[in-house]
């Protein structure tokens, strides 16, 4: 199994090393790790964060009389941002494959859910198909981007990982249930239980400093779902999408957090279709690592 640290580009290493040196020189050890954890999480979620900023900024300034619709601008912004990430090597081509897969599966779900009346996009736009603005797929792609980038940036290992085929079956069942529950009984409670049974022993190992840290995978998925739920509230407050019967000042139902929790396992399975060097069937304990400090004025 290859070391995921080998996939981190030199520019990212220099940025993280400089931030780490700054934090460790000025802050107590535990606080330095907390600051580094927050900064790395923000760096991993950069694509999604930029999409959210674009949604907020356009909501604040956009005028109906402008020749370009807000939804169409968001499509152009998302495509341009993705191209910029690849050009600047903020994402690898391997990660771009993950993002494309999740973009396609997310867009397919959007087509169905909008037609089923689960939510709607009230604003006009030329780049809109079956009532779905094409930027919506990039919001799903942002989740795939985050998972791929956070795995690389935190040098993660997932162990012990269930048999790969079992995780694909679970992800498929979760994805199909998002469609089928409109016609058949909703089995999400069984799917929640399945995620805990299959992944309850799986530890997400990661580095902030020199010591490897870990948390259970279901807990990591819940925390990520909470962050996505907050982002979804931003989308509804700005009127970018709307749920039936929900006033724009009301919070999105907490039940949506459960949907995102399940969808994260679909996202993770999608990532492992392309990238598997960070999963291990056997329990592992990653070694401590020596921190290489950057001297003042150094460029490497």
Is pLDDT at 246 greater than 80 in this prediction? no
CB atoms within 10 A of CB 224: 21
In terms of C-beta density within 10 A (0-12 exposed, 13-18 middle, 19 or more buried), how is residue 258 classed?
A: middle
241 φ, ψ (degrees, to nearest 5): -145, 165
Residue pair 210/228 in contact (Cβ under 8 Å)? The answer is: no
Say if 172 falls within a structural domain.
yes
Give residue 295's Cα distance to chain centre: 34
Say if 292 falls within a structural domain.
no
Is pLDDT at 292 greater than 70 in this prediction? no
The boundaries of the domain holding residue 199 are 4-274
CB atoms within 10 A of CB 184: 10
Average pLDDT value for residue range 167-171: 94
Say if 294 falls within a structural domain.
no
Rounded CA gap, 141 and 186, in Å? 26
User: What's the total number of domains in the chain?
Assistant: 1
pLDDT of residue 220: 93
Give residue 12's Cα distance to chain centre: 19
Residue pair 170/265 in contact (Cβ under 8 Å)? The answer is: yes
Of 43-57, 194-208, 231-245, where does mean pLDDT reach its minimum? 231-245
pLDDT of residue 189: 95
Q: Per residue in 98-113, is it b (16+ CB within 10 Å) or e — as a string?
A: bbbbbbebbbebbeeb
Say if 284 falls within a structural domain.
no
What is the 3-state composition of the chain as percent helix, strand, coil, each rounded to the nearest 5? 60, 5, 30
Is pLDDT at 16 greater than 80 in this prediction? no
254: confidence class by pLDDT, cuts 50, 70, 90: confident
pLDDT of residue 248: 63
**SS3 call for 181:** coil
pLDDT of residue 299: 36
**SS3 call for 159:** strand
Residue-wise pLDDT tens digits, 71-99: 999 999 999 999 998 888 888 888 888 88
Rounded CA gap, 47 and 38, in Å? 16
Residue pair 154/286 in contact (Cβ under 8 Å)? The answer is: no
CB atoms within 10 A of CB 35: 18
Average pLDDT value for residue range 101-110: 88
pLDDT of residue 12: 56
Say if 295 falls within a structural domain.
no
192: confidence class by pLDDT, cuts 50, 70, 90: very high
Length of the chain: 300
101: confidence class by pLDDT, cuts 50, 70, 90: confident
Residue-wise pLDDT tens digits, 39-53: 888 888 999 999 999
Say if 199 falls within a structural domain.
yes
Say if 279 falls within a structural domain.
no
35: confidence class by pLDDT, cuts 50, 70, 90: confident
């Amino acid at each position: 199994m290859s070391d995921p640290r080998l996939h981190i580009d030199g520019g990212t290493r220099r940025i993280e090393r400089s931030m780490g040196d700054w934090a460790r020189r000025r802050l107590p050890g535990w606080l330095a790790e907390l600051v580094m954890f927050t900064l790395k999480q923000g760096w991993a979620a950069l694509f999604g964060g930029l999409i959210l900023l674009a949604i907020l900024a356009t909501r604040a300034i956009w005028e109906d009389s402008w020749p370009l619709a807000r939804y169409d601008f968001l499509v152009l912004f998302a495509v341009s941002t993705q191209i910029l990430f690849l050009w600047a090597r903020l994402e690898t081509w391997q990660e771009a494959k993950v993002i494309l897969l999740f973009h396609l599966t997310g867009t397919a779900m959007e087509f169905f859910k909008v037609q089923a009346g689960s939510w709607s996009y009230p604003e006009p736009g030329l780049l809109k198909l079956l009532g779905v603005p094409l930027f919506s797929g990039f919001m799903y792609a942002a989740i795939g981007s985050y998972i791929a980038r956070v795995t690389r940036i935190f040098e993660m290992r997932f162990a012990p990982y269930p048999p790969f085929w079992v995780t694909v079956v679970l992800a498929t069942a979760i994805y199909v249930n998002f469609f089928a529950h409109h016609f058949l009984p909703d089995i999400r409670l069984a799917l929640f239980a399945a995620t805990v049974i299959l992944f309850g022993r799986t530890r997400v190992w990661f580095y902030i400093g020199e010591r490897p840290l870990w948390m259970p995978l279901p807990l990591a998925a819940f925390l990520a779902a909470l962050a996505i739920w907050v982002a979804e509230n931003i989308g509804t407050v700005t009127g970018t999408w709307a749920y039936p019967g929900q006033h724009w000042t009301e919070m999105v139902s907490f039940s949506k957090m459960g949907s995102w929790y399940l969808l994260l396992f679909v996202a993770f399975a999608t990532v492992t279709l392309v990238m598997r060097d960070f999963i291990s069937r056997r329990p592992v304990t990653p070694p401590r690592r020596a921190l290489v400090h950057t001297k003042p004025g150094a460029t490497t």
